[in-house]
Amino acid sequence: MQCPKCHAPMHTYNRNGVQIEQCSGCRGIFLDYGELESLTRLEAQWGQQAPPPPAPPTAPQGYPAAPAPAWGAPHGGHHGHGDHYGHKRHKSFGHMLFSS
Amino acid sequence: MTVPVLAALADSARAVAHRRSGGACVCGDGGAVLADRADASVVRHGDVVAKAHAPDTDPAELAVRLDVAARLPGVLLAPSAPGATRLHGRLVTFWPHGTPVDRDDPDSAPWEAAGALLARLHAAPVPGTIPPMRGPAKAARAVARLRAAEPHPAAPPVLRAWAGLPPWARDEAAAPGPLALCHGDLHLGQLVRGPDGHWLLIDVDDLGMGDPAWDLARPAAWFACGLLSPREWTRFLDAYRDAGGPAVPAGAADPWPALDVPARALTVQTAALAISKAVAGRRALDEVEQALVDACARMSGVDVRPPELAPDATK
Ligand SMILES: [Zn+2]
């Protein structure tokens, strides 16, 4: 299946039993008829069980808070920020991430 | 590698590239040296890449690994010719040329493809007897090189972190199961776009049976050391899980019980090589290399997390 917007291939993911199509190019998410309703219903049920805590101020720009090991860098996985990674990222990318 | 062997490698790449077109080279390609390291030399001519494998390569094991590559289209780049040939005492194999990941453009790195390809490799059926994955052997070799180098103030914390790893991660015992077909040396230089535009894994020299978490461990180590953003790490890991990869339990929120030991080993391996190179080059560690040494220093204060004690483990 191709993205109707940019024509890149779409990948199917399963979230809580609901099929979601995400574009590998523009990262757009496409829902079939009824899927938005299903997701909204699941979200409402979840909200009744336990109200989600407010988003921590240390996770800006939608960066996921990925679990990290205790020996990891102090910033690793906790409050990753574009600016912080922008610096070391370019330095490490071409050399460290390409070699054995 | 010596110049005559490189020249012979270029000659054979040219011969294979023009085998189907009458033998005469009309493309004007002088033969580009893609890599010339102690463990491998790689020369490209036209659409053909010739690789001279490490001098100590076992011919029977390489044959099995080539056979696996030929049998997993869509996951591994298949060799252009079924077997290896001898050239100046080195085993040489031939491959179609693929487009590598752009080193100057971190935003274009194919994290989703890397995760999905590994998941498919780890789930692949294993025909016959496959040699062990060589990841732990490579880590042990990097540590041996560090021990042989001149003393360096950053070496002790790295060696302490190595001593804290279980024997299997130091190549001193067989890996605990369940085992899967593993790449053994995953990094971004191990992905190319094949002729049809899809990403494929290359370099089967370390491929074999092992703990599949080892293949996730280099990106995991980069993330843990602050060299890879949580976003990129999550893209890679989610793609691996979405494709059904067996190395991390599907339902567990925290993948680290499975990743901890291999990620420590890869951090130690990378730090050990960085120090050895800094000593040989008579230069200081750079900021990125220091981040790896710092992570090794922190490992000594944190116990290894055994996967079987993890609350989320379902294996
Ligand atoms: Zn799109």
pLDDT in tens, A38-65: 655 655 554 444 444 444 444 344 445 6
Contact (CB<8Å) A85/B255: no
Among B66, B96, B126, the domain-final residue is B96
Map tokens 């370390």 to a residue.
B206
Is B88 among the domain residues?
Answer: yes
Judged by a CB distance cut-off of 8 A, whether residue B196 touches chain A is no
**Do B118 and B91 reside in the same domain of the chain?**
no
Among B73, B96, B119, the domain-final residue is B96
Cα maximum dimension of chain A: 49
pLDDT at A58: 44
Residues 31-60 of A with CB under 8 A from B: none
Paired tokens of A24 = 């590998």
In chain A, where the domains are located: 10-47
Query: How many residues does this entry show for chain B?
Result: 315
Is B31 among the domain residues?
Answer: yes
Contact (CB<8Å) A70/B228: no
**SS3 label, residue B75:** coil
**Does the structure show a pLDDT above 90 at A72?**
yes
**Do B66 and B117 reside in the same domain of the chain?**
no
pLDDT at B128: 85
Interface size A-B, in CB pairs within 8 Å, comes to 113
DSSP 8-state secondary structure symbol assigned to residue A60:
G
pLDDT at B48: 87
Among B96, B130, B151, the domain-final residue is B96
CATH number of the domain where residue B172 is located: 3.90.1200.10
State how far the Cα of A27 lies from the Cα of A21, in Å rounded to an integer: 10
Paired tokens of B116 = 């999905």
**Do B175 and B143 reside in the same domain of the chain?**
yes
**Do B178 and B71 reside in the same domain of the chain?**
no
Which phi and psi angles does A19 have, rounded to 5°? Answer: -75, 130
- Rounded to the nearest 10°, the torsion over CA B233, B239, B244, B246 is -20
Residues 104-163 of B with CB under 8 A from A: 104, 106, 109, 112, 138
**Do B31 and B168 reside in the same domain of the chain?**
no
Is B314 among the domain residues?
Answer: no
The band of A81, judged by pLDDT with boundaries at 50, 70 and 90, is: very low
Is B263 among the domain residues?
Answer: yes
**The domain containing residue B46 runs over which residues?**
1-96
**Do B80 and B10 reside in the same domain of the chain?**
yes
Q: Are B210 and B182 in contact (CB under 8 A)?
A: yes
**Does the structure show a pLDDT above 80 at A96?**
no
- Rounded to the nearest 10°, the torsion over CA B9, B15, B17, B18 is 160
Is B186 among the domain residues?
Answer: yes
Q: Are B162 and B270 in contact (CB under 8 A)?
A: no
**Do B155 and B222 reside in the same domain of the chain?**
yes
**Do B144 and B224 reside in the same domain of the chain?**
yes
**Do B145 and B4 reside in the same domain of the chain?**
no
Contact (CB<8Å) B138/A11: no
**Terminal CA-to-CA distance of chain B, rounded, Å?**
45
CATH number of the domain where residue B38 is located: 3.30.200.20
Number of domains in chain B: 2
Name the residue of chain B whose CA is nearest to A59's CA. B230
The band of A76, judged by pLDDT with boundaries at 50, 70 and 90, is: very low
Low-confidence ranges of chain B (pLDDT < 70): 1-6, 17-31, 305-315
Ligand 1 centroid–CA A11 distance in Å is 11
pTM above 0.90, yes or no: no
The band of A78, judged by pLDDT with boundaries at 50, 70 and 90, is: very low
